[in-house]
Amino acid sequence: MKLNGSEIVIECLKEQGVDTVFGYPGGTILNIYDALYKHSDEIRHILTSHEQGAAHAADGYARSTGKVGVCLATSGPGATNLVTGIATAYMDSVPLVAITANVAVPLLGRDSFQEIDIAGVTMPITKHNFIVKDIAMLAETIRKAFEIAQSGRPGPVLVDITKDVTAATMKYTPAVPKKIERKTDEIKESDIEKAIKLINQSKKPFILVGGGAVISGAAEEVTEFAHKIHSPVTDTLMGKGAFSGEDELYTGMLGMHGTKTANFGVTECDLLIAIGARFSDRVTGNAKKFAYNAKILQIDVDPAEINKNVLVDASITGDVKEILAKLNIRIEQHNREEWVGHIMELKEKYPLKYNPEILTGPYVIEELYRITDGDAVITTEVGQHQMWSAQYYKYKKPRTLITSGGLGTMGYGLGACIGTKIANPDKIVVNIAGDGCFRMNMNEIATATRYNIPIIQIVLNNHVLGMVRQWQTLFYEKRYSATVLNDSVDFVKLAEAMGAEGIKVTKKEEVEPAIRKAISLNKPVVIECVIDSDDKVWPMVPAGAAIEESFNEDDLKNRK
């Protein structure tokens, strides 16, 4: 059948099983939106308040499901408004296809109205990108974009289509999407054997679970592996839920705001097994002093990550789930009671603590965990609230913490929350934000109310940029440069003005009723919780220090 380019785009999206797209229309992409209008019963379009919100919503949709998220934008500023969202997805290996339209081919390179080389702009932050100037290449390119986004280590792909291509016509031939195979061709028997030998020889192993374990769908294999080798487990921010936070072997998160138990345990271990983790600086602290007593075994799908940030003693390259399945079959059952017992003593000695007398971020998050029985999906912005969400909500399953780790994007969470809720309509989905982050993209509350998407937005309002202020307090002699937000913004009224329910919480006893009401209302709700400006995230590792130099408020007082 003969179709125009815009209709081919829609048919290709349907081929790929796309049921929802997020975007914002404009002149050059109007033909695609016209075609989308005709297929609105097959593909749902969510009009966000800003293109960045569309990118983050597509990202949240993808992270919470494992499917490819799709966002649309017009040329020029529409396309550039996607850039932060694309970079966020790139840093955290999220499968995303961003479709933009550009000016017609004769107008390219002439500084035409709303023209920009978006392929050039996004080259460093995409897994691959394309500009389609010939309709004959359109269907093949879109199919290739979805394949690239999902295969191996996932990531975002941009497809820029000139406006004349969206209007041109040609014969369209349907195709069945190529099956995405797990990456197993690089798994070497010699690497498996070396890993088994290291594990069998180890007296004090420690497992570090990263985002690759979540992406691979390896939670079951990780759990079996940990219990089979009888090893304590820590995780990265991206690895949350791949190993249950309620498991007896779990020690908390590793790194700058990780638990002392995890940081000290990794420093003491004789074998660190990194599963789908890239050794970010926030995890390792001073890389030269990281796990210096241990041999390191790294398991990762991307060979470029091996020896990139930390030199390792052994590695296995390939899909994490497949590798662990092979190891679990061949590894003998171990019993390391003395080592595990020592780590459990550290857990008892160094629990996470906060002031129980006043309303705090950790208290709100613990209450949320208790009320939802740990079964909600949590999205976050970036800052203190993000770290508290990682520390105090116990993630039992993968894809239940949706957060920007690599790029650390303030303004990410609300859009991601909308995308996550659309993908998971039967789950409670809560975005946790600080007041600074919430201000950045709070206009997306209007998106939630427009479509009656029943998300819960918790704003931990300390009237400051909390994480930056924490650094200013500890390392800049309390010079609070540009971090005080002590103004008259009323988030409850703002929520109500956009059609949501607004609830203000100022005391501990108001937290539970507010959360239960928000769940029961089945509509967008903003809960503003007013907390102290000087609450801090503990423990903490100073920048550039070894993770064993982790300190908390008690340590700080003792030093003084």
Residue among 177, 61, 162, 151 nearest 115 (CA): 162
Q: Are 431 and 379 in contact (CB under 8 A)?
A: yes
Record the tokens describing residue 415, joined without a space: 């859009």
**Rounded (5°) CA angle 223-225-227:** 70
Q: What is the DSSP string of 441-488?
A: HTTHHHHHHHTT---EEEEEE-SB-HHHHHHHHHHSTT--TT-B--S-
Q: Rounded to whole angstroms, how far apart are CA atoms 333 and 326?
A: 14
Give the residue numbers annotated as catalytic, written as ranges.
51, 113-114, 163, 467
Helix runs in 5-151, H state only:
5-15, 30-38, 51-65, 77-80, 83-91, 118-122, 138-150
Q: Rounded to whole angstroms, how far apart are CA atoms 111 and 117?
A: 10
Strand partners, 205: 271
Q: Is 29 exposed, middle or buried (0-12, 13-18, 19+ CB in 10 A)?
A: buried
With DSSP H G I counted as helix, E B as strand and the rest as coil, what are the percentages for the chain, rounded to 5? 45, 20, 40
Backbone angles phi, psi at 400, to 5 degrees: -115, -5
C-alpha dist (Å) from residue 491 to 425, 438, 445, 488, 500: 25, 9, 11, 9, 11
Q: Rounded to whole angstroms, how far apart are CA atoms 290 and 266?
A: 8
**Count of other CB atoms within 10 angstroms of residue 471:** 15
Torsion angle of alpha carbons 364, 367, 368, 369, nearest 10°?
Answer: 130
Q: Are 421 and 453 in contact (CB under 8 A)?
A: yes
Residue among 454, 265, 443, 277 nearest 341 (CA): 265
If you search the block for the tokens 């209450």, which residue do you land on?
367
First to last CA, the chain: 78
